[in-house]
Amino acid sequence: MRNPMVQPLKACLVMALALIVMSASAENPPMPPERPAAFRLRAGMPAATPSPSASALVPEKGYCLAMLARLGIEAAPAVQDPNARPQCQIREPVRLSSIRSKARGGGLIRLPDNPLLACAFASAFGEWIGSTAAPLLEARLGSPLAEIRTGPGYDCRTINRSASGKTSAHATGEAIDMDRFTLADGRVFLVGTAGEAADALAAMRRSGCGWFTTVLGPGADPAHASHIHVDVMRHGKSGSYRICQ
């Protein structure tokens, strides 16, 4: 014979279990994995435990250099010229010396000119070279990229050195020029010269248009006949369009 109390008892037990589970969930709701502090700061989100030196919008001192190191970009802190004009100030100046290639052949890409750059720009340049430009050149030319000649990077001047004109992105360390590429097998390619690397360098140059706001090179104008220039200058009133020539 069925006990008439069994069904209500079962219902009570089920409800009690549900309440226990719900209260446990409320106290310990499922949380996404903890993000590194660097990501929280970059996304403009407050850190879980704010440190005295960090705010939601200002990255901690040394954050950019630490980010470069994590990306395989070798750089050292540099000193801003104390006499530089106000329009020629570099935000967090660094000197680049090498970039680790993410191509199959891997290896370090030397930057013997040790360009002086703003740290954030150095990060964009290093990431583009390491993850896109070097693998592309290696795939097209059959040997890892070993060296890029860049010139000094920072240069307090106007665009194309015109007597009166807009300040160049070089003046804030947010531009760089490349005129000579050396592969691990010893082959050397100069920008603007015909030869086996011309197509590969043109493809590399086009890939830069996805990373920078300005990409110029041979054919764009006489000032860029023998080097590729990339920068992150904002163009136009909205600052939203890009120059890719």
Question: Applying CB under 5 A, which residues contact Zn ion?
Answer: 177, 229
CB of 95 to Zn ion, least distance (A): 17
With CB atoms as reference, the residue minimizing the distance to Zn ion is 229
Between 100 and 229, whose beta carbon lies closer to Zn ion?
Answer: 229
CB of 113 to Zn ion, least distance (A): 13
CA atoms within 13 A on the CB side of 130: 22
Dist CA 205 CA 229 (whole Å): 9
Between 102 and 157, whose beta carbon lies closer to Zn ion?
Answer: 157
What is the 8-class DSSP label of residue 161?
G
3-state DSSP assignment of residue 193? coil
93 forms bridges with which residues in the sheet?
118
3-state DSSP assignment of residue 108? strand
CB of 97 to Zn ion, least distance (A): 20
Chain centroid to Cα 190, Å, comes to 25
CB of 58 to Zn ion, least distance (A): 29
Between 74 and 177, whose beta carbon lies closer to Zn ion?
Answer: 177
Q: Give the H/E segment covering residue 93.
A: strand 93-100
CB of 45 to Zn ion, least distance (A): 35
Between 55 and 245, whose beta carbon lies closer to Zn ion?
Answer: 245
Report yes or no: 100 and 108 within 8 Å, Cβ to Cβ: yes
Between 67 and 204, whose beta carbon lies closer to Zn ion?
Answer: 204
Contacts of 9 (CB under 8 A, 6+ apart): none
